Structures are given as structure tokens and as C-alpha cells.
């Protein structure tokens, strides 16, 4: 009997250790901050800015430097946000959303706001 009890302890501790490690790993994944680009729009301006700029577009702060602009998703349709960015900063050659880039037709509609 003593032999069986002594052999059970290492397995018990191994199982408990693995369970604890899994719990810690899953907790860490749920409380870690999301990557910065996951819930943001980005725009590439057709003509870069001379100086960095920060302006509020659709209630969201957009930061631009050179030909790159970034702003959080604001809840509006991406093409509508793109139009507001064009009105504020100028024509864009690319507008990216968390789900992908705007297509050529949407990008053309977006730049029509200039």
C-alpha cells in the first residue's frame, strides 16, 4: 500500500501543476491588453503632411505624421470615416480597417469628399 501511495503523489503534483499553469496562461490571455492595431483605422495620405498633426475626426483623435494616420474605430461605416479623414487631412491612397483595406470603389467614394 505504501508503494502505491508514494507513486500517486508525483502524478498528483504533476496534474495539479499543469492545471495551475493552464489557468495562469488562460487568465493572462484574457487580461492582457489588445494589440494597438486591432481596433484602429489607418490611412496613407496621398500627399504627406509637413508637420505631425492631431485632430478629432468623428469624435476620435487621429494622429498623423508624414503620410501615415491612425485613429480608433469610431462605430461609423469605414467609408464614412474615410471621407471625414479626407476632409480633415487630404486625399488618401489607402484606408485600412481591422477587417482589411477599402476596395478601389470605396476608396474612390472616400476621396470624392476632398
Other C-beta atoms lying within 10 Å of the C-beta of residue 85? 26
Handedness of CA 51, 95, 106, 55 (dihedral sign): negative
44, 71: one domain? yes
89, 107: one domain? yes
User: pTM above the 0.85 mark?
Assistant: no
40: domain range?
36-111
60, 25: one domain? no
Per-residue pLDDT reduced to its tens digit, 81-110: 999 999 999 999 999 999 999 999 999 999
70, 83: one domain? yes
For residue 66, give the C-alpha cell. Answer: 508624414
Q: Report pLDDT for 31.
A: 43
Per-residue pLDDT reduced to its tens digit, 3-47: 555 666 667 666 665 665 565 555 444 444 444 446 899 999 999
94, 66: one domain? yes
Q: What is the mean pLDDT of residues 45-57?
A: 95
Per-residue pLDDT reduced to its tens digit, 2-12: 555 566 666 76
Q: How far is CA 68 from each of CA 11, 64, 79, 93, rounded to the nearest angstrom?
A: 56, 6, 17, 10
23, 51: one domain? no
Count of domains in the chain?
2
How far apart CA 101 and CA 78 sit, in angstroms, is 10
Up-side HSE of residue 101: CA atoms within 13 Å toward CB?
Answer: 11
Helix (H, G, I), strand (E, B) or coil at 35: coil
25, 57: one domain? no
76, 107: one domain? yes
Amino acid at each position: 500500500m505504501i508503494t502505491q501511495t508514494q507513486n500517486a503523489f508525483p502524478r498528483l503534483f504533476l496534474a495539479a501543476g499543469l492545471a495551475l499553469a493552464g489557468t495562469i496562461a488562460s487568465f493572462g490571455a484574457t487580461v492582457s491588453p489588445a494589440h494597438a492595431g486591432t481596433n484602429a483605422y489607418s490611412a496613407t495620405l496621398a500627399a504627406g503632411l509637413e508637420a505631425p498633426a492631431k485632430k478629432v475626426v468623428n469624435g476620435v483623435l487621429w494622429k498623423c505624421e508624414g503620410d501615415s494616420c491612425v485613429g480608433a474605430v469610431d462605430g461609423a461605416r469605414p467609408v464614412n470615416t474615410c471621407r471625414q479623414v479626407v476632409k480633415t487631412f487630404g486625399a488618401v491612397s489607402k484606408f485600412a480597417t481591422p477587417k482589411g483595406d477599402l476596395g478601389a470603389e470605396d476608396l474612390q467614394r472616400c476621396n470624392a469628399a476632398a
